[in-house]
Structure 1
Amino acid sequence: MTRTRLHPPLRYAYGTNGLADLRLGDALALLADLGYAGVGLTLDHMHLDPLAPGLAARTAKVGRALERYGLTVTVETGARYVLDPRRKHHPTLLDPEPEARAARRDLLLKAVRVAAELGAHAVHCFSGQLPPGTAPDEGWARLTDGIGTVLDKATAAGVPVAIEPEPGHLLADLAGFHRLRTALGSPEPLGLTLDIGHCQCLEPRAPADCVREAAPWLRHVQIEDMRRGVHTHLPFGEGEIDFPPVLAALREAEYRGLVTVELPRDSHAGPERAAASLDFLTTAEAKSAATPQEDAPC
């Protein structure tokens, strides 16, 4: 006898870095109306500014809005200029200056506190680019030290930290994630943000295979279209990714976190992109489930 294996449906979210022209309340209302399950909340000046006064009160207000709209959340820390108005994504945990590294670490610690208050399922982060003149081993040592400090607080708060392999960064791929994980002793709170477009861009395996390899450590997933060797986030259908196998792999892994659309360059068309993205993904997921999988005969 055979029996059909039923995998839970995926839970889609949309990143607020792709809705930068909307007030946060309007963005949350839009996503709820469209049928999204959650939101990827980037801490940035136009939404929940991590550097402005009254962060705790403003976080509580966001929490009430999330509850009102029935949205879950992941907290993202990839704002381009939130710490340095002139240098994108600076400073990082790799910076030669201790004070600069401390600024990034403090941002991540604030993100952990915000995530704990909001009941977020993860805090996203990245390594940053290796600074000129810095030896790779020194960069890895700084990253390990910085993430280790954040993990201590995240463990106490019960919030996983999900680091993202980013093209051009020191930690650029899945091999880099495993290097960091091993250096830290494989701590339970350290997980992975897997960006499906980045898999297409530079990983040696197909995106669906990357999902299967990364499944034990998945804490957050970002998704968009992309072309091989070109790190440009594209609306669905404008790149090269075959999405039904990717979504099938996520369902087979029984991934229960958010699958967050990541289109930061498309805020000018944010509401339209959000609507089209959800339609695309739900259609692709239906195709992925069209052929039921079966257990071995019993």
Structure 2
Amino acid sequence: MTAPLAPPHPAPAPGATPLRFGYGTNGLADLRLDDALTLLADLGYDGVGLTLDHMHLDPLASDLAARTRRLAHRLDALGLTATIETGARYVLDPRRKHGPSLLDPDPDDRARRVDLLVRAVQVAADLGAHAVHCFSGVTPPGTDPDTAWKRLAETLTPVLDSATTAGIPLAIEPEPGHLLATLADFHHLRTTLGDPVALGLTLDIGHCQCLEPLSPAECVRAAGPWLRHVQIEDMRRGVHEHLPFGDGDIDFPPVLTALADTGYQGLTVVELPRHSHAGPHFAELSLPFLRQAVALSQGSTP
């Protein structure tokens, strides 16, 4: 099953597009995958941000294809859609968080990350997911910026080739502290690669609050043509800490208005990986908060 690639600069749909909310499995890491999916369906979520990891859908498992087929049937039965996320902390290396990355000095290590992303694209195609999320990684010590950007472009090229063939957008996320940390960095990569159709953007609303010069709502409007995946949580200015809604500084109704106005049709996924110890609790609280913020953005009574 494949999904058509969105055009590089899609026009917003007429009027506001209804938003579709999901919850990330990296915030439900203590639950079996089927229990997590059942919970989200019961709570009324539209979909799931599925992080490929050993405790849920292991991308290195020998029977990955069979597991993915079973998962596709289960998602369909529950009425959930998916996006595929690749931010598992130790899925490739039990001693290095998020290692190896696309920027590692060792070409064999970089190839392992490329292989993971290519596997993610295939999983996404088999599930009918709307995008594959990824990030650049932190620049290794002793690596100059020009070399790091060159490595990123080179390592992403085969992944983008796979994404193009599968019809699945690759949505790279600006991550604080990484080589690609801001919206400006995304545009640098995009132009370096020649603006490939398969390359899109994962926008994390909290990251906008944390470090972008624009407000989160302005970031959404600026990023609209390239949005392929959205993550959402609360956050404070200058502090990269994913917070439950209401614990940070973000004014959400304007953000959700801006998101609907872009015509974005993918999932907006709650991203609370450090609250996995109470994942069901925060999953239960998050969706009513977001629905209330949508109602307020539309000037109606929640």
Q: TM-score, length-normalised on structure 2?
A: 0.94
Paired residues for 1:74-89 under 5 Å: 74-89=83-98
Which residue does the alignment assign to 1:55?
64
**Cα deviation digits, residues 110-148 of structure 1 (max 9, x gap):** 000000000000000000000000010000000001111
Question: What is the match of residue 115 of structure 2?
Answer: 106
Q: Distance in 2 between matches of 1:251 and 1:154?
A: 26
Alignment of 1:150-189 (within 5 A): 150-189=159-198
Partner of 1:296: none
Question: What's 1:206 paired with?
Answer: 215
Determine the structure 2 residue equivalent to 1:32.
41
Whole-Å separation in 1 of the counterparts to 2:63 and 2:136 = 28
Alignment match of 1:121 (pick from 121, 130, 134): 130
Name the amino acid aligned to 1:31.
L
Please give the residue correspondences for 1:136-147 in structure 2 after superposition, counting only pairs within 5 Å: 136-147=145-156
Q: Distance in 1 between matches of 2:25 and 2:71?
A: 13
Q: Distance in 2 between matches of 1:110 and 1:213?
A: 31
User: 1:193 is paired with a residue of what secondary structure?
Assistant: strand
- AA aligned to 1:67 is D
Secondary structure at the aligned position of 1:113 is classed as helix
**TM superposition shift of 1:9:** 1.5
Aligned to 1:243: 252
Q: How far is 1:86 from its partner?
A: 0.8
Unmatched 5+ stretches in structure 1? 292-298
Q: Does 1:252 align with 2:261?
A: yes
2:291 aligns with 282
Bigger Rg, structure 1 or 2: 1
Report SS of the residue matched to 1:146: helix
* Aligned twin of 2:52: 43
Aligned residue in 2 for 1:197: 206
Return the letter of the residue paired with 1:239.
Answer: G
How far, CA to CA, are the matches of 1:194 and 1:272 in structure 2?
Answer: 25
CA drift at 1:108: 0.1
Residues in 1 aligned to 2:157 and 2:179: alpha-carbon distance in whole angstroms: 16
Residue 127 of structure 2 aligns with an amino acid whose one-letter code is: L
Identity score, percent: 70
Aligned partner (choices 56, 72, 85) of residue 81 of structure 2: 72
Deviations 1:79-108 (A, max 9, x none): 000001111000001000000000000000
- 3-state SS of the aligned residue for 1:226? strand
- The alignment status of 1:97 with 2:106, answered yes or no, reads yes
Cα drift, residue 6 of structure 1: 4.2
Q: Which consecutive residues of structure 2, in runs of 5 or more, have no partner in the other structure?
A: 1-13
Deviations 1:24-72 (A, max 9, x none): 0000000000000000000001000011220000001111110010000
Figure out how many residues of one structure are paired with residues of the other and give that number: 287
| Residue type at the aligned position of 1:166 | E
Q: RMSD of the TM alignment (CA)? A: 0.8
Mapped partners of 2:205, 2:147: distance in 1: 29
Q: Distance in 2 between matches of 1:66 and 1:80?
A: 24
Choose the corresponding residue for 1:15, options 24, 27, 31.
24
Deviations 1:199-219 (A, max 9, x none): 000000100000000000000
Give the C-alpha shift of residue 7 in structure 1: 1.6
Which amino acid in 2 is paired with 1:210? Answer: C
CA distance in structure 2 between the partners assigned to 1:128 and 1:204 by the alignment = 22
- Alpha-carbon offset, residue 8 of structure 1: 2.4
For residue 230 of structure 2, the aligned residue among 212, 216, 221 is 221
User: What's the CA shift string for 1:193-247, capped at 9, x where partnerless?
Assistant: 0000000000001000000000000000000000011000000000000000000
Tell me, in whole angstroms, the C-alpha distance in 2 between the residues paired with 1:53 and 1:8.
40
SS in 1 for 2:87: coil
Amino acid corresponding to residue 250 of structure 2 in structure 1: I
SS of alignment partner, residue 191 of structure 1: strand
2-side partners of 1:178 and 1:8: how far apart? Answer: 25
